[in-house]
Structure 1
Amino acid sequence: MRSRTAAATAAAATAALALTTVTAGSAHANAPGDSPEFTESVTVDNVFGHLEQLQSIADANDGNRGAGTAGYEASAAYVEQTLQAAGYETTRQPFTFMYEVVNSTSLTEVSPDAREVEQAPMSYSQPTPQGGIEGALVAPTSAIGCEATAWDGVDLSGDSDIALVSRGECSFGQKAVTAGEAGAEAVIIYNNEEGELNGTLGGVEPTSAPATGITMAEGEALLAKMDNGTVTMSFALDKTMEQRETFNILTETSTGSDDDVVMLGAHLDSVHDGPGINDNGSGSAGILETAVQLAKVDELKNKVRFAFWGAEELGLLGSDHYVADLQANDPAALDSISSYLNFDMIGSPNYVVGVYDADESTYEAPVDVPAGSTAIEDVFTDYFDASGQPWVDSEFSGRSDYSAFINAGVPASGLFSGADGTKTAEEVEMFGGTAGITYDPNYHSVGDDLSNINTEALGIMSDAIAHATITLAEPVAPEEPGTEEPGDEESPEEPGDEESPEEPGDEESPQEPGDEPEIPEVVQTDGFGSDVAGGTALGGLLLAGMTAGAVVAIRRRSTMD
């Protein structure tokens, strides 16, 4: 079992980080790689330029960049070419996944009112039989329908029964499996907050009922009609499902200690319904430009690794595969990743500046928060506080590519500008925008194109990514010639200052056999989980706050029971 311990308090580290941000006139205040200079080098214009390229790629490839498509391949090629031009070596990590595309779908209320209902079929949902399913709506005794007992006493004896359940507490996959095993022929899941519900079952489940998502308002309207009698619905889902191969892209800096690796990740794939420029071209573009500029820093104390994940939209598949591969084949390499920073949607049109709430000061996390995550959160929040930038907590939910890392005990944090949640009046006071609508009205849709990006949000978030990266990487400042103060020169020797000749017996004793200094053993790896000759060892991340000439560190180390 690995344990993560702190060699210094989070408060001390974040205080040092704040000093790095606001202190002027220090010995290395203008040295290449210091936070203000590096942050300035990661420009919103360059980040937006990467998004323009991703938009062009989507336009040339059926309007999307989804996993397993030509659009994803072209997106990956652009990222690789950009990184290679900056001096990086890139690696593709392949894995297989279930490719799916919806050919046609519909959800209709047959009675008491005849109308079409807006819906979004769940990823990995089973298709309906040809011609669809028509039947009466049924609801569990517990609205969320997570457990089999929720269906006790519910009449599911009809030829075709369609379950109506609420989002919440358990996965969509569990709801669909539970409803299917209870006897429902399909399941409609309604949102528990404002906005559309675009979900995934997380994987193919043969026993699950075909599943789709609707808004909270639609769900409540249908429930009210059920109170007055039978509600008959029709659901049709025709789709293609087949095994395909996709990949992650990995790269890392050529300098920096392999004992301390900081990792940044963003998913590169879009949904198959649109170009995915905010979700998640924005996060990919942010870390891509950060990597390009980081290559110009001469020397880093800690290695930085960048990951562009595949198939996130189909259930976090790329990041899950990466972590699972290390767990199975090189747990020491996984143990070396002591910090994972995730960036999924950083340019939402009705944005907030959200930081993953690792300290649970606003939201109780529905997942275990690894020790050390709070200190990484503070890297972002102290930066925003020092620059006068408002920010809010974003639930530490595990609903993006940091999930596999936190499940493996790796400390994590990240930024999020909002998706299908609704903006509040208080948030409008902080960030502008419109209350009562979602942060990204074009989330998971064809409208998530270049015009969907808020460049102010993109700039704020890109600067924060740059600051966190250079702070944790710890650039090594070059020695500056001619810095001696007057009077620092060595005084010429005065007569009598010469060294006295050695007395007999003062000579150093010859080294006895076996007195040679101990050479530490180095575990060699290619940096991606495989041992190779001539490689370097990975290690635990150093989270550091730097002032001129001072470092306060939070370090994770491992012990074996």
Structure 2
Amino acid sequence: MIYSVDKRVKSLLVFIGVVIIFILVTLALAAATLSVVVNLLKNTTTHNLFLGSQYAESIKISDVMMHLNELQNIATNANGTRAINTLGFNRTLDYINNYLSSHTNFKVTTDHLYLRNFVIGSNPILITFINGVTVNRIFSTNLSASEFSFLQYTRSANFPTCIPINVIPNLGCSDNDWLAAKLSPNDRVALVKRGDSNFAAKAAFASKYNVTALLLYKDGMNNELPGLFLSYALGQELADAAQNSSNNVSVRITISVADESKYPVGNMCADTPTGDVTQTIVVGTHSDGARAGPGINDNGSGSAASLGLAVALARLFQMSTYEKYRYRVRFCWWGAEEEGLLGSNYHVKQAKLSTVVGERLDDYLIIFNYDMLASPNYMFGVYDGRTVTMNTPSKAIPGTNKMTTVFREWFIRQNLPWTYTEFAGGSDYAPFLAEGIAAGALFSGADEIKSIEERNYYDKMLGQGMGGIAGAIHDPCYHQACDSIQNVNIFAYEKMIQAAVYALEYVARQDDLKGWLYPPDEIQRLNIRQKQRPEYKSINEYFGLPYF
């Protein structure tokens, strides 16, 4: 009997022990599960609040750096450059095309423009005549050590006699300037000062007014005239002399161009398969680099970022939990930016001529431009819509100002510093803005010097030592052989990519993007103000300052 009781007690104790163990294990598992859920929610919420974009969540800087390293490999195996008309440029487009084709279902197309080869046969000659004094001017490709150099893509010239100089007043950016010069009816050489409009615009005016040759203070491209680039000292000497009508000022020019055959340069675009093709968001970046180096910051950083954006968006569109955009997104990689925005300018001209739905310029709502996003002595540069040039169509201004605000507010919410930069026409947004298309853009800096104030501001926001080096330019390797993968600030690069992704998703989620970018009442008010502007104030135009 005692044995039987002990047996029952032991059985009961075993049962109770098993129950206790079960309860403890259950509680432990529940606690662990709860902890995982809480941490997951906490991390997700914090991360989403930090980036403000599900799209931005999906992009990893390591993926973009993989593309950037591949561009470095391409340059390394192609004589150190990715400039147009080189193996490096062609392989860059091949890499982007192949990666898009294998990792997205986007429609990829390539269009080609054709440019002239340019080889100088011998050193050009410039002889000036001022009141009977003849001077054979000093030539060098290094203008700091000479009085003149040749304009890139100049035409050949061989003047048998001296030809008078006509000084174009102001900056040669309008018909009024050229008409005010009272050009001589026969052979004449135009002397034009740099500023406001780019070289191509000045060259177009020169051709329109039938000048024989062009002397300019700034290098450029797209030239159909013989052209030389003068030092400031020589240009001012000739201008001062020619301003006095009693002086006899003329020049003789000899330029020998050895090769003017043509070669193709590719523009590549990749379109989302869904979204309204008559309401297209364009994300643009240039795929070529300067001839001197690999072009990794300028502009491998933009090319790789856009490729990362495209692949991440394609991946999101495959998920049922991510709602597709009502607008088509077109990612484009322009060629020949370094030669004068030629690829983007060609694309805009073709779109203006097109009657194909989805390919017309009117089908474009906005252009995002990403050129140099990873400068080592970086700034978080936000393009300021208030600095668009005075001849920008009014309809582009409201949307451009709104994109300035979108970018600026993102940096503020992330507790990051930011710096305004000007829409001065130096990157591929320019042809679109000129046609009245709103623009938004980021820029980490090129050859501008970082001020002490900017360095201190960035230090204050980011922590001591994070603000960079005052007195140094933002990218010490700008257009140089050292613009390699070592020339990239990964911290700045990641933040710029996140800002770019946020802005794209922000506009793509607008219910009426066209109405948001182009409010009719505001555009009408701007049109009235533009009509009331002074006709010409060169200092305002030079610095890109608006009149209102």
Q: TM-score, length-normalised on structure 1?
A: 0.64
Equivalent runs, 1:318-333 vs 2, <5 Å: 318-327=343-352, 328-330=354-356
1:305 is the counterpart of 2:330: yes
Q: Which letter does structure 2 place at the counterpart of 1:124?
A: Y
- Partner Cα separation in structure 2 for residue 262 and residue 468 of structure 1: 11
What residue is the counterpart of 2:295 in the other structure? 276
- CA change 1:260–1:455 in 2 (3 A) is same
TM-aligned CA deviation for residue 170 of structure 1: 3.7
Q: Which letter does structure 1 place at the counterpart of 2:313?
A: L
Q: Percent identity?
A: 29
Equivalent runs, 1:38-77 vs 2, <5 Å: 38-77=55-94
1:554 is the counterpart of 2:512: no
Tell me which of 441, 451, 454 is aligned to 2:486.
451
What residue is the counterpart of 1:7 in the other structure? none
- CA change 1:165–1:345 in 2 (3 A) is same
Corresponding residue pairs, total: 441
- CA change 1:260–1:153 in 2 (3 A) is closer
What residue is the counterpart of 2:142 in the other structure? 118
TM-aligned CA deviation for residue 236 of structure 1: 5.7
TM-aligned CA deviation for residue 134 of structure 1: 12
- CA change 1:240–1:180 in 2 (3 A) is same
Q: Which letter does structure 1 place at the counterpart of 2:441?
A: G
Tell me which of 303, 306, 320 is aligned to 1:287.
306
TM-aligned CA deviation for residue 66 of structure 1: 2.8
What residue is the counterpart of 2:534 in the other structure? none
What residue is the counterpart of 2:232 in the other structure? 219
Tell me which of 57, 60, 82 is aligned to 2:99.
82
- Partner Cα separation in structure 1 for residue 112 and residue 78 of structure 2: 22
Structure 1: gaps spanning 5 or more residues:
1-23, 191-196, 475-539, 545-552
- Could you tell me whether the CA contact under 8 Å between 2:118 and 2:259 is conserved in 1? yes
Tell me which of 356, 368, 374 is aligned to 2:393.
368
TM-aligned CA deviation for residue 342 of structure 1: 0.9
1:438-492 Cα deviation digits (max 9, x unpaired): 4444444444333333334322211211222233344xxxxxxxxxxxxxxxxxx
- Could you tell me whether the CA contact under 8 Å between 1:261 and 1:541 is conserved in 2? no
- Partner Cα separation in structure 2 for residue 176 and residue 471 of structure 1: 40
TM-aligned CA deviation for residue 182 of structure 1: 8.8
What residue is the counterpart of 2:315 in the other structure? 296
- Could you tell me whether the CA contact under 8 Å between 1:95 and 1:321 is conserved in 2? no
- Could you tell me whether the CA contact under 8 Å between 1:355 and 1:414 is conserved in 2? yes
CA RMSD after TM alignment: 4.4
- Could you tell me whether the CA contact under 8 Å between 2:167 and 2:239 is conserved in 1? no
Q: Which letter does structure 2 place at the counterpart of 1:451?
A: Q
Which SS does the other structure have where 1:347 is aligned?
Answer: coil
Which SS does the other structure have where 2:67 is aligned?
Answer: helix
- CA change 1:273–1:88 in 2 (3 A) is farther
Q: Which letter does structure 1 place at the counterpart of 2:412?
A: D
- Partner Cα separation in structure 1 for residue 267 and residue 111 of structure 2: 6
- CA change 1:106–1:48 in 2 (3 A) is farther
Structure showing the higher helix proportion among its residues: 2
TM-aligned CA deviation for residue 169 of structure 1: 3.5
- Partner Cα separation in structure 1 for residue 470 and residue 238 of structure 2: 30
What residue is the counterpart of 2:429 in the other structure? 402
Tell me which of 464, 473, 483 is aligned to 2:499.
464
Tell me which of 302, 318, 341 is aligned to 1:316.
341
What residue is the counterpart of 2:227 in the other structure? 210
What residue is the counterpart of 1:340 in the other structure? 367
- CA change 1:137–1:62 in 2 (3 A) is farther
Which SS does the other structure have where 1:296 is aligned?
Answer: helix
Tell me which of 237, 241, 245 is aligned to 2:260.
241
What residue is the counterpart of 1:168 in the other structure? 195
What residue is the counterpart of 1:384 in the other structure? 411
> Which deviates the most, 272-281 or 254-263?
254-263
- Could you tell me whether the CA contact under 8 Å between 2:115 and 2:262 is conserved in 1? yes
1:311-361 Cα deviation digits (max 9, x unpaired): 333343333343343432235654443222111222234433222222x1x
- Could you tell me whether the CA contact under 8 Å between 2:107 and 2:273 is conserved in 1? no
1:145-203 Cα deviation digits (max 9, x unpaired): 5544565599x99xxx987642114432454566789998765533xxxxxx5533xx2
**Bigger radius of gyration:** 2
- Partner Cα separation in structure 2 for residue 347 and residue 135 of structure 1: 49
Structure 2: gaps spanning 5 or more residues:
1-40, 128-134, 144-148, 242-246, 459-466, 521-548
- Partner Cα separation in structure 2 for residue 173 and residue 240 of structure 1: 21
- CA change 1:541–1:413 in 2 (3 A) is farther
Q: Which letter does structure 1 place at the counterpart of 2:405?
A: D
Equivalent runs, 1:496-511 vs 2, <5 Å: none
Tell me which of 64, 74, 91 is aligned to 2:108.
91
- Partner Cα separation in structure 2 for residue 273 and residue 83 of structure 1: 28
- Could you tell me whether the CA contact under 8 Å between 1:83 and 1:89 is conserved in 2? yes
- Partner Cα separation in structure 2 for residue 176 and residue 188 of structure 1: 10
Q: TM-score, length-normalised on structure 2?
A: 0.66
